[in-house]
Amino acid sequence: MDWTALKDQAIAFISEAAHRLYDPALRNLDIDTKEDADDLVTANDFAVQHFLSDKIKQAYPSHFVIGEEGEQYKNIPDHTITWIIDPIDGTTNYVHQYMNFAISIGIYYKGEGKVGIIYDVMADEMFTAVKGEGAYLNGKKLYPRKSIDFSRAIIGFNARWLVGSAGPKTKEVFAGMVRDVRATRSYGSASLELAYVAAGRLDAYVSMRLAPWDYAAAAIMISEAGGECTPLFDGDELFTESCSVLAGEKHVHEEMFARCNGQ
């Protein structure tokens, strides 16, 4: 398989789908919620996923598609090329702010990430990666960064899960990290924040719980940009239905992982 050619075709699909999201005439905000009343989904989440799925299946009938707004995630088939789609990552931002949301596609074969694409629709920023060929932002290569001291790090995370579901020990550990780093940020879109790690805008990103479509694309580009993307806790495993995720510049990742696992 020519993975670069497949990346280019996926970019074409995403660019066409994005028109529905940035054209006000097509902006359908028929809003519903998922199990969590604050987890929003719009008609365009489904429309974009259906559009992408149809395009993929027409062009590549043997490929498999997994999407956020579809059948419940089980696992990545190891016998065929699999596209993992998040049609709008950051739906709450799409509804309330009309910025900081993205279309994300990760392409995997036999459990290995081959192509990752994250498109910030309103900023017109296309983050891309092909395994073994590097990561790029709008065609400009993203190079591995020099290690920085933890005290200079800027970390992305959403404090809501920390306040709501984290245990006392985890809260204590994170309170210490927040005090020790330069700053924290939260943009409301996991895929974008992970792409920012690859691009060097964030030094790390952490979440207690993400689904595969949240990080499938970003995991490839972070690796290609010289970073690390792993579970936050020992015993967790990526590409299960839901797991913790820690991504970052290698030194910052190592420090955060050690602190969170009592090392």
Residues 202-222 have a mean pLDDT of 96
Q: At what angle do helices 3-22 and 43-59 cross, to 10 degrees?
A: 150
The predicted model scores a pTM of 0.92
Is 228 labeled as catalytic in the residue annotation?
no
Encoding tokens for residue 153? 């790090």
Encoding tokens for residue 155? 């970390």
Which has more confidence, 14 or 20? 14
Q: Which residue is catalytic, options 86, 193, 228, 255?
A: 86
Please say which residue of 142, 164, 180 terminates a domain.
142
Question: Domain check: are 58 and 154 in the same one?
Answer: no
**Binding site: residue ranges?**
68, 86, 88-89, 214
Q: What is the pLDDT of residue 56?
A: 97
Question: Domain check: are 188 and 105 in the same one?
Answer: no
Band (pLDDT 50/70/90 cuts) for residue 158 is confident
Is 255 labeled as catalytic in the residue annotation?
no
Question: Domain check: are 40 and 75 in the same one?
Answer: yes
Please say which residue of 91, 116, 142 terminates a domain.
142
Question: Domain check: are 185 and 224 in the same one?
Answer: yes
Q: How many domains does the chain have?
A: 2
Question: Domain check: are 190 and 137 in the same one?
Answer: no
Question: Domain check: are 161 and 70 in the same one?
Answer: no
Question: Domain check: are 122 and 154 in the same one?
Answer: no
Q: What is the pLDDT of residue 30?
A: 61
Which has more confidence, 203 or 45? 203
In three-state secondary structure terms, 157 is coil
Angle at 193 between CA 23 and CA 211, to 5 degrees: 90
Taking only the tens place, the pLDDT of each residue in 87-132 is 999 988 988 898 999 999 999 999 899 999 999 999 999 999 999 9
CATH code where residue 174 lies? 3.40.190.80
Is 66 labeled as catalytic in the residue annotation?
no
Q: Which residue is catalytic, options 91, 128, 184, 230?
A: 91
Q: What is the pLDDT of residue 37?
A: 46
Please say which residue of 124, 142, 160 terminates a domain.
142
Is 88 labeled as catalytic in the residue annotation?
yes
Q: What is the pLDDT of residue 35?
A: 53
Taking only the tens place, the pLDDT of each residue in 45-69 is 888 999 999 999 999 999 999 987 7
CATH code where residue 105 lies? 3.30.540.10
Is 89 labeled as catalytic in the residue annotation?
yes
Summary mean pLDDT of the chain: 89
Give the range of the structural domain holding residue 96, as residue numbers without chain letter.
3-142
Question: Domain check: are 46 and 133 in the same one?
Answer: yes
Q: Which residues pair with 127 in a beta bridge?
A: 118, 137
Q: Which residue is catalytic, options 214, 228, 249, 255?
A: 214
Element (H, E) at 81: strand 81-89
Question: Domain check: are 134 and 163 in the same one?
Answer: no
Taking only the tens place, the pLDDT of each residue in 15-45 is 999 988 876 655 555 655 555 545 566 788 8
Find out whether 187 and 118 touch, Cβ atoms under 8 Å: no
Find out whether 187 and 207 touch, Cβ atoms under 8 Å: no
Q: Which residue is catalytic, options 14, 56, 84, 89?
A: 89
Is 91 labeled as catalytic in the residue annotation?
yes
Question: Domain check: are 81 and 134 in the same one?
Answer: yes
Question: Domain check: are 161 and 234 in the same one?
Answer: yes
Q: What is the pLDDT of residue 168?
A: 77
Q: Which residue is catalytic, options 14, 42, 45, 68?
A: 68
- The answer to which of 14-18, 77-81, 142-146, 151-155 has the lowest mean pLDDT is 77-81
Q: What is the pLDDT of residue 26?
A: 53
Q: What is the pLDDT of residue 70?
A: 64
Question: Domain check: are 243 and 167 in the same one?
Answer: yes
**Binding site for Mg(2+): residue ranges?**
68, 86, 88-89, 214
